[in-house]
Chains A and B, each alone.
Chain A
Amino acid sequence: MKYLDEYRDPVLARKLLAELRAAATRPWAIMETCGGQTHTLVRQGIDELLPSGMRMIHGPGCPVCVTPLATIDKAVALAARPDVIFTSYGDMLRVPGTAGDLLGVKARGGDVRVVYTPLDAVAIARDNPDREVVFFAVGFETTAPANAMAVLHAAVTGVVNFSVLVSHVLVPPAITAILDAPDNQVQAFLAAGHVCAVMGWTEYEPIAQRYGVPIVVTGFEPLDLLEGIVLAVRQLETGRATVENQYARAVRRGGNTAAQDAVRQVFRVTERTWRGIGPIPASGLALTPAFAAYDAEERFPGGETHAVEHPDCIAGQILRGTAAPTDCSAYGTRCTPLSPLGAPMVSAEGTCAAFHHAGRRRSAVEVPR
Chain B
Amino acid sequence: MCLGIPGRIVEVAEGPAPRMGTVDFDGVRRPVCLAYAPEAGVGDYVIVHVGFAISRVDEAEAAKTLAVLRAIPEALESELGPEAAR
Number of A-B contacts defined by CB within 8 Å: 147
Q: How far is the CA of A347 from the CA of B3 in the complex (A)?
A: 11
* Interface bracket on B: 35 or more
Q: Which residues of chain A come closer than 8 Å to B58, judged between CB atoms?
A: 248-250
Chain A residue at minimal CB-CB distance from B26: A1
Instruction: Scan B44-82; emit 1 where CB is below 8 A from any A CB, else 0.
Output: 010101111011011101101110011010001101100
Q: Enumerate chain A residues within 8 angstroms of B76, measured Cβ to Cβ.
A: 15, 18-19, 22
Evaluate contact between B36 and A2: CB separation under 8 angstroms. no
Interface 1/0 per residue, A1-41 and B, CB below 8 Å: 11110100001101111110110000000000011100100
Distance of A34 Cα from B4 Cα, bound (Å) = 12
Report if A186 contacts B (CB, 8 A). Answer: no
B12 within 8 A of A: no
Complex contact B69–A12 (CB within 8 A) = yes
A228 → B minimal CB distance (Å):
11
Q: Which of B17, B33, B65, B77 meets A14, CB within 8 Å?
A: B77
User: Which residues of chain B from 10 to 52 have any CB-CB distance to chain A below 8 Å in the complex?
Assistant: 17-18, 25-26, 30, 33, 35-38, 45, 47, 49-52
Q: How far is the CA of A150 from the CA of B25 in the complex (A)?
A: 23
B33 CB contacts on chain A under 8 angstroms: 117, 119, 146, 149
A64 to B3 alpha-carbon distance, docked (Å): 12
Binding site for A on B (CB under 8 A): 1-6, 8, 17-18, 25-26, 30, 33, 35-38, 45, 47, 49-52, 54-55, 57-59, 61-62, 64-66, 69-70, 72, 76-77, 79-80, 83-84
- Where the two chains meet, the residues of A that have a C-beta atom closer than 8 Å to any C-beta of B are 1-4, 6, 11-12, 14-19, 21-22, 34-36, 39, 61-64, 89-92, 116-120, 138-140, 142-143, 145-146, 149, 153, 156, 194, 197-198, 220, 223, 227, 246, 248-251, 256, 258-259, 262, 347, 349
Chain A to chain B: the 4 pairs with minimum beta-carbon distance, closest first = A117-B51, A249-B62, A197-B55, A89-B1
